[in-house]
Amino acid sequence: MGLLCDFCREQRSMVYCRPDAACLCLSCDRNVHSANALSRRHLRTLVCGRCNSQPAGVRCIEENVSLCQTCDWNGHGDSASALGHKRQAINCYSGCPSSAELSRIWSFALDFPPVADSNGEQGLRLSINENSISNCSDSPDNGRTVDLCSAGGVNNLDIIDNLDTWIGSSSNSAVAMMPCNADQLAGPVDLVTPKLCCTETRNHEICKDDGLNEDFNVDDVDLTFENYEELFGVSHNHSGQFIGDVGIDDLFEMDMSAANSNCQGTFTAEVESMQAACSHAASADSMMSNPGINADPNLCFSTRQAPSSLSLSFSGLTGESSGGDYQDCGMSSTLVMGEPLWYPPGPESSSFPTASRDSAVIRYKEKKRMRKFEKKIRYASRKARTDVRRRVKGRFVKAGDAYDYDPLCQSRSG
């Protein structure tokens, strides 16, 4: 993946499709993801403005550049001058939004270039789902979905505004401004904070253990940039060293057992303390691959000192979650650390049952083993084509031949 669209190899890539692991221009993005209902559910986000290969998770206001977690870390974590840079989270989207709709989602992008649509349609459907706004999870089904029938482009803003209510914070009022300091090298933990502030109406839905969707909120973004070039046109090419970035949405599972009305401040404080604890950790892979280190992501830690007795656990490394999954989603690799980092000082932390610990290690090893068989899509274009190919008993058929399964319309020709 690089500067050019992975599909057409002509246009500059602008969005990153995580399920396809592909960087696409807006035109190909629409074409590819309008192929069928499944592809429309792919969550996409901006491509990192520096490395041009990873999905951007935050926007650096100072530099007017979208950054993936790695570049964000490299750019802000080790540079004294960059420590004070404010950053904002970037949402994902699904469906086939028009350029105007994209501009609404990413309000800082005021001038999206027109999207060439081979079908001549305008804004087929913009599906903004709760998860897609809040994170980059691959499982949009679990979130509420708002279908913005955007042909007329009417009321979309209203609906988006309503999303703020769902998220529990207005894009304007509660945008996660993220000052960077030395204790926040695990910067993306900032991205966790909004999710931790989930509202009453949705926290149960979010916090349930649904496998891949132990995700986190990224608040809606409402940055303002002068023009399109500021958003997409600048490639700084000083990404420096890469460290694997781990997606927190694949790692987090939240279990909020108490009322959440007052959880925001509490959780924010807790997460910040965790950030500090994690800031000096080594890379996740090195830790996880070391059998001598108890790095079970399922290990739970509780915020015992929190009035609401909130607890948090990590169980995202399922068989379905690949390295790419947690690489993509803005979670510092340091968050996949060993148990000691996760346990806040306190009586409980030293009395973690050995049996539970052993079983946790076993679970982790099993999941890690499963992960090795994760299928990685190497050619998004082939997948896109296969996704629309007709079959007979699961086998591809020649174009024009009789088929019994059509992915596009789920119909059978007999």
Partner DNA sequence: GGCTCAAGTGAGACCACAGTGACGG
Partner DNA sequence: CCCCGTCACTGTGGTCTCACTTGAG
Query: Using CB under 7 A as the criterion, which residues of the chain lie in contact with DNA when the complex forms?
Result: 9, 373, 375-379, 381-383, 385-387, 389, 391, 393-399, 405, 407
Contact between 203 and 305 under an 8 Å Cβ cutoff? The reply is no
CB of 405 to DNA, least distance (A): 5
Contact between 68 and 54 under an 8 Å Cβ cutoff? The reply is yes
Closer to DNA by CB, 252 or 403: give it. Answer: 403
Closer to DNA by CB, 238 or 369: give it. Answer: 369
Q: What angle do CA 78, 84, 88 make, to 5 degrees?
A: 100
CB of 24 to DNA, least distance (A): 13
C-alpha 293, offset from chain centre: 27
Closer to DNA by CB, 5 or 263: give it. Answer: 5
Closer to DNA by CB, 18 or 87: give it. Answer: 18
CB of 143 to DNA, least distance (A): 21
Task: Name the amino acid, one letter, at 408.
Answer: L
- Closest by Cα among 223, 239, 234 to 79: 239
Closer to DNA by CB, 80 or 399: give it. Answer: 399
CB of 375 to DNA, least distance (A): 6
CB of 37 to DNA, least distance (A): 11
What are the CA-CA distances from residue 190 to residues 183, 319, 355 (Å)? 12, 26, 33
CB of 30 to DNA, least distance (A): 17
Contact between 284 and 180 under an 8 Å Cβ cutoff? The reply is no
CB of 20 to DNA, least distance (A): 9
Closer to DNA by CB, 280 or 369: give it. Answer: 369
Contact between 331 and 248 under an 8 Å Cβ cutoff? The reply is yes
Q: Residue 344: is it exposed, middle or buried by C-beta count within 10 angstroms (0-12/13-18/19+)?
A: middle
Alpha helices in 41-120 (DSSP H): 69-77, 99-105
- Closest by Cα among 98, 111, 329, 112 to 213: 329
CB of 407 to DNA, least distance (A): 6
Closer to DNA by CB, 19 or 57: give it. Answer: 19
C-alpha–C-alpha distance, residues 319 and 23, integer Å: 25
C-alpha–C-alpha distance, residues 345 and 338, integer Å: 15
C-alpha–C-alpha distance, residues 23 and 120, integer Å: 23
